[in-house]
Structure 1
């Protein structure tokens, strides 16, 4: 039985994310924070038996993937099927600007019918889902019994998760996807399992210190109060989530 373990990574942060702009096919670079996030992902996956790294050809995903791939001495294979959704006339606009210029479509997008929105010059969610399914089939065919990293975007990641859970695109806002979040999906011939969703603990851990180790004087009582950070995952709030 062929099994694919797919580690889906959303690219690191960009200035457009911070400004809450619809980016889509605009080829914006990672911000300094985004590069740091990509390095944190690379550290988190350094011990994984990664056989291949794929990415959207847009530079925010490609550069994130290159940072992750370097830890495994791999090169990145670009797959256009995993490019972000084209938001057409919405691209470059902030959430508030889209809400003002396209109030009815924006209400559907942020409500219970995001799959019904047809933006001028953009893609429908059905069109994106079709190409994502095509790209996934290509990866599955090429990597039986292997672990593969895919660096992509918010819409694509949500569609992969919804498909894995057998949910329709109208449940789009049931999935939260953050920059540099890690999602793990296992594909078998007869079953698909979502093992983790949008884990972010690696972003809350500082990079390894280069200073010499110091003697630990922490008491047992103090250690008992320390708790690991809780990664965010699960439901997204359409009012506050990025586009």
Structure 2
């Protein structure tokens, strides 16, 4: 059995302000640094075989804290970059709710279908991350590994690994500084269904 620690990096200033960060590369905020310290303490009892990270600064900083004192190198995976929110980068989530109520509702009810202007759909991000996940998981049949991925992409990874449906895009947009354990019985991932 493979144990996967799915770690959301600590918060950035945009997360603290409830702004859409998407694929923007930002450092951790003071709140985010504290979240990372707590997360590193929480997962310190796991004997990790590997740590794979999104290539953004917040994920790499979080990963570095997780491997401190361990004989593990962090491997950055380009396809673990967060969802590209195009022209919505930097917008307040509340502004999208007020200015685009129909799109906001769609992000709550059918997050796989939403596509910000000049961005990518959640479905496109799912297909991209699935390929990278399959390669990582084939390398590890058992033991424990950590995946450090920001939301909303971490929520997409959760859906792929658990088989559960997607949650609201807006809830996952500002979900930071936590982790969950997912146990995989098989290293054979199923291709995610297209919507």
Bin of the TM-score, shorter chain as denominator length: 0.7 to 0.9
Aligned to 2:23: 25
- Secondary structure of 2:52's partner? strand
TM-score by length of 2: 0.86
CA contact (8 A) 1:53 1:150 kept: yes
Aligned residues: 189
**Which structure 1 segments of 5+ residues have no match?**
193-243
In the aligned structure 1, how far is the partner of 2:4 from the partner of 2:138?
13
Offset at residue 37 of structure 1 (A): 1.4
Asked if residue 50 in structure 1 is aligned to residue 11 in structure 2, the reply is no
In the aligned structure 1, how far is the partner of 2:97 from the partner of 2:168?
21
CA contact (8 A) 1:46 1:72 kept: no
In the aligned structure 2, how far is the partner of 1:53 from the partner of 1:190?
17
Offset at residue 18 of structure 1 (A): 1.1
Aligned to 1:198: none
Root-mean-square deviation (CA, aligned residues, Å) is 2.4
**Which structure 2 segments of 5+ residues have no match?**
190-195
TM-score by length of 1: 0.70
Structure with the bigger RCO (C-alpha within 8 Å, sep 6+) is: 2
Asked if residue 161 in structure 1 is aligned to residue 158 in structure 2, the reply is yes
CA contact (8 A) 1:42 1:71 kept: no
Offset at residue 23 of structure 1 (A): 0.3
Offset at residue 169 of structure 1 (A): 3.4
| 1:161-240 to 2 correspondences below 5 Å | 161-169=158-166, 178-189=175-186
- Secondary structure of 1:154's partner? coil
